[in-house]
Amino acid sequence: MSPEQIADERRRGRLAAVAALIAAALFAAAAVWSQSLSNDAPERNGPALLRFFDRHTTDLVGSSTLRGVALLLLVAVTLHLYRATKARRPDEPQVVLVMGLYGPVAAGVGTIVVGIALATAASSFTDRQFQTIKAADDAFRTVQLLGLLSFSGSLALAFWFVKGCLDAMRVGLLSRVMGVVGIALGPGLVIFSGAFQFLLPVWLVAVAGLFAGFTFGAKPPAWDAGEAVAPPSARERLGEALDDGALRAAPNGEVEAVGPGVRQGDGDSGAPQKRKRKRRH
């Protein structure tokens, strides 16, 4: 990449960082809001649950809208990270871009639609003269059909988290910690959404800092280099430690610790000390 392309990437990164920060705040607010709503909701009682949703329409639609908007803002994150990865890895598959765009849009729109549809179904059910279990099951079934759009978007977004974060980590755009957490977020948000919904805002804040140039640790060198810089492997890190003198091999092949806190024996420090035998009387 040329210096002009790197500068343009940094400008786009600042916009993506703002979107990531707003998305993180909305995700956190939606998670707290929906969690408080779920704690008070009745369990295993369809008619009572619909009447509960009808009394808390504002909470239901509000939390769904916040999460939907946050998902839509993820488009800025997925697009920027894909373009940065593509610039350093030209053979990056196009399917990563497709999943990165379709996932947030479908999941975001689907989440908002499901929240509104559930509130409408709850209101319609409450206005019925006979509020039977069958009528409640029919109302939930209609909402579940609409939820297929959100579910398909969640699957696409899970694919992007796994593949997109893995490729970004391979070219040196994400640190190992951020890459591994991003990869885990993919299946985690689909299978264990309750546990991972609070981890996603933390990851987005870290990504926003990375895009804006403010990192909590060493910045991955691939951003400034404009080319792929693979992170060092465990063997390479061990070799660097050996070169720095953190470990030293003794003459007999054993590893000998060195440093100010290690006491050396008398005489030749490199020669092993012999034990004195006790004389028999």
| 255 strand-pairing partners | 249
Give the E-state strand segments of the chain in sequence order. 247-249, 255-257
Q: In whole angstroms, what separates CA 59 from the centre of its chain? A: 26
- Residue 263 in this model has a pLDDT that exceeds 80: no
> What would the pLDDT profile of 49-99 be if each residue is shown by its tens digit?
888 888 988 988 999 999 999 999 999 999 999 999 999 999 999 999 999
Do the beta carbons of residue 67 and residue 111 sit within 8 Å?
A: yes
Interatomic CA distance for residues 198 and 33, integer angstroms? 12
- Residue 215 in this model has a pLDDT that exceeds 50: yes
Q: What are the residue boundaries of the structural domains of the chain, listed by start?
A: 3-225, 233-261
N-to-C CA span, the chain: 83
The predicted structure's pLDDT at residue 267: 46
- What is the pTM (predicted TM-score) of this model? 0.78
